[in-house]
Amino acid sequence: MPKFLQSSFRFLLLFSCLAFQPAPAGQQAASLTATNPQETFDTGSKTDYAAGTVAFATGTWTLTDAVLGNTETDHKNGAQAVRLQQNGKLTMEFFVPNGAATVTVQHAIYGTDASSSWELWAQAQSCNCNKWTKVGNTVFTTSSTLQAAAFNVNIAGNVKFEIRKTSGGPSQLNIDDFAITDFGVAQPSIDNDHLALGNPSGAVTDVSFPSNYLMVKPQYKLSYNRDQGKPNWVSWHLDASDRGTAPRVDVFGPDPTLPEGWYQVQATSYTGSGFDRGHNCPSADRTSSPQDNAATFFMTNMMPQAPGNNQGPWADLEEYSRSFLPSATNPAGNSEVYIICGSYGVGGTGSNGGVTNTLDQGRITVPNRTWKVIVVIPVGDNDVARISASTRVIAVDMPNTQTLNTNWGTHRTTVDAIEAATGYDLLSALPMEVQTAIESKVDTGPVAVPTN
């Protein structure tokens, strides 16, 4: 969890034991009493962009730099939708009494306008401090068809929300069908999805965002950075079903699923550089079939890695992460794992000596650091719900050099530290109290692969 979210959440916890406080002056008391409320914005009227309030079915909302649009160019469900311009806002002036587990919002560009970005912010009444906290990642709206954006909120007690258009400019944005799931309501089981723990950078499959382009494969999911010629991060689930007898394909190659016109890193792009073609999702994590193993050799899954890093503590940590799985040679294994890894910074030292910043005529950035987060849970169902404050989380951050300490345990750090270094929001799908607990701890567990 990013630092500003941690501090906001700790502040919320500090006051959670206080008696109920009345709504501050000028704010409407909670008026949503139904379970899982939804606002369709189909009642009321507002035709000018000056800030003003509208009484909707759920209660009063303030629209700033916003109107209620009902034209053919407004993309909406029903009679109308909110239309935001510039840095417009849509603000609830009342508190939802049952808290919020999740929030879902429909969004689309207005007419044929360019894309926009926006964010969801929350305010818990328990703090009685008028403090807003950002929820989840920034959303990028690129489609003229309404799309659903889902946010894991996990705030108990009275809470209200605000949508903020952050991209500014003349492009307008339609918002519709704001739905809340009450806190404590059981959520659908999420099992084995490679992004079950969250999308660290809010990556989207849209060529308008070449530095944060989401690629979805059956074997893993990743955020690709076209201008760096490597992934920002790769995320995958690993259990016993991913391991089999398929041999290592060992055929590196360009990824044919990259958008047309993008440069494709070649198998030979690292030749003579002094850096390994370092897997993010390892070959040995995908041996259930030749097809699954071959997918790990796409160059979109590679980063320039110093051999001393890739073949040393990084490889040992990969082997250690597989030791949690049950197998014929490890009958004591009883776990499954979620893994997120990547790299950041510029400039590594490979086997040729000296710091190298780029490869392949500047098309590939050589990172300064490599990082990984491993979440270990017992084999079971409804994975996200089973992760708690006591779940083992291993986070490492290693220098991309030849001379680093070969014991991977010495490179352990906190998830918080990796978030601070990368700007990502890791494990964002977990409840905030769980994130606060597990992201601030340095793992102190064993580092050796168990022998049977």
pLDDT tens by residue, 267-295: 999 999 999 999 999 999 999 999 999 99
246 and 381, same domain (yes or no):
yes
175 and 288, same domain (yes or no):
no
**Last residue within a domain, chosen from 181, 202, 231:** 181
CATH classification at residue 54: 2.60.120.260
Catalytic residue among 107, 194, 279, 411: 279
With CA atoms as reference, report the closest residue to 314 among 252, 230, 221, 398.
Answer: 398
Q: Is residue 197 part of a domain?
A: no
pLDDT by residue (tens digit) across 327-384? 877 777 889 999 999 999 999 999 999 999 999 999 999 999 999 999 999 999 889 8
Average pLDDT over every residue of 24-43: 57
Bin 357: left if φ > 0, else alpha if -120 < ψ < 50, else beta.
Answer: alpha
174 and 263, same domain (yes or no):
no
Q: What is the DSSP string of 250-271?
A: ---B--TTSPTTS----TTTTT
Dihedrals phi, psi of 337, to nearest 5 degrees:
-135, 150
Q: Is residue 391 part of a domain?
A: yes
Average pLDDT over every residue of 55-68: 95
Q: What is the pLDDT of residue 1?
A: 53
Distances (CA, A) of 24 to 62, 128, 164: 16, 8, 22
Q: Which domain holds residue 68?
A: 3-181
pLDDT surpassing 80 at residue 54? yes
Length of the chain: 452
pLDDT surpassing 70 at residue 3? no
Q: What is the pLDDT of residue 150?
A: 81
For residues 125 and 95, the answer to whether their CB atoms sit within 8 Å is: yes
Sign of CA dihedral 383, 388, 390, 394: positive
411 is catalytic: no
Q: What is the pLDDT of residue 20?
A: 30
Average pLDDT over every residue of 424-452: 90
Q: What is the pLDDT of residue 142?
A: 85
Q: What is the pLDDT of residue 19?
A: 28
| Tally of structural domains, the chain | 2
Q: Is residue 201 part of a domain?
A: no
Q: Is residue 205 part of a domain?
A: no
What value does the mean pLDDT of the chain take? 89
226 and 91, same domain (yes or no):
no
**Last residue within a domain, chosen from 181, 204, 223:** 181
What pTM was estimated for this model as a whole? 0.68
388 and 279, same domain (yes or no):
yes
pLDDT surpassing 60 at residue 29? no
With CA atoms as reference, report the closest residue to 237 among 19, 437, 429, 30.
Answer: 429
pLDDT surpassing 90 at residue 31? no
pLDDT surpassing 90 at residue 238? yes
279 and 412, same domain (yes or no):
yes
Q: What is the pLDDT of residue 188?
A: 58
Average pLDDT over every residue of 228-253: 96
175 and 217, same domain (yes or no):
no
pLDDT by residue (tens digit) across 245-254? 999 999 999 9
228 and 169, same domain (yes or no):
no
